[in-house]
Amino acid sequence: MKLKLKIWRQKNASAKGQMVDYDVSDISEHMSFLEMMDVLNEQLISKGEDPIAFDHDCREGICGMCSMYINGEAHGPDRGITTCQLHMRMFKDGDTITIEPFRAAAFPVIKDLVVDRSAFDRIQQAGGYISVNTSGNTQDANTIPISKHAADEAMDAATCIGCGACVATCKNSSAMLFVGAKVSQYALLPQGQIEAVDRVKNMVAQMDLEGFGNCTNTGACEIECPKGISLDTIARMNRELMKAHI
């Protein structure tokens, strides 16, 4: 395939960015989107030009680093996948593809398509932990009776990889799906009850401090989430917060 790419280029956090056009050819439909970007970068390097900076690590849909906004959609025109799992067969020969970084005040651009998502780290550090008895009397988790329903829901919430697609796709740049998932995975299990009150208060307070917007129940976050995190987690977070304040 031959493609025309419109890519956001920005030298650093303080520089003014702009869209730059690139032509790329000999792209196989079997390539992943990041492999296509690799081909483009090889061409740029061979010309002595600065390659396009973009985040990636595992390329297996686990790390959540490959945050790209492709043709107006977080992670591109597919569902239940990250950018590294997006394949070029989703596009046609001659297509124009617009590629931007995730845009949110709490996700400042570092360079080109790389954004700083450390706000998510600070939210988790504010309360995403449980007390562990390390005195030698630690109880094996497998001996704690938990209903199958609660265990399944906790696991569903825990699949959140913190990629930020929910923030990027939300008109309010809300992080409530992410925070809701992190609160839910502990709220549903007995091990997470000790810090339950402080956890939800601290994590929500940190979310607000980072500058994320509020949820207005549009539902775009759930649609674009590569792990299918449910809006139910936001409802659970709100209930946990209400209980904590009462």
- CATH top-level class for 117-245? mainly alpha
Ranges in the chain, pLDDT < 50: none
Q: How far apart are CA 100 and CA 9, in angstroms?
A: 9
Following CA atoms 117, 120, 126, 130 in sequence, which dihedral angle do they give, to the nearest 10 degrees? Answer: -130
- What is the per-residue pLDDT for 134? 67
Domain ranges of the chain: 3-111, 117-245
Amino acid sitting at position 95: D
- What is the per-residue pLDDT for 138? 73
Whole-number mean pLDDT of the chain?
95
What's the pTM?
0.93
- What is the per-residue pLDDT for 191? 85
Tell me the per-residue pLDDT of 132-156, one tens digit each, with 9 for 90 and over. 776 777 777 778 889 999 999 999 9
Of residues 86, 70, 74, the one with CA closest to residue 29: 86
Give the residues across from 70 on adjacent strands: 73, 99
Helix 196-210 vs helix 176-187: crossing angle, to nearest 10: 170
CA geometry: angle 76, 81, 86, nearest 5 deg: 55
Q: Of the CATH numbers 3.30.70.1140, 3.40.190.10, 3.10.20.30, 3.30.200.20, which one belongs to the domain with range 3-111?
A: 3.10.20.30
Contact predicate 84/66, CB 8 Å: yes
Instruction: Give just the sign of the alpha carbon dihedral 194, 198, 202, 205.
Output: positive
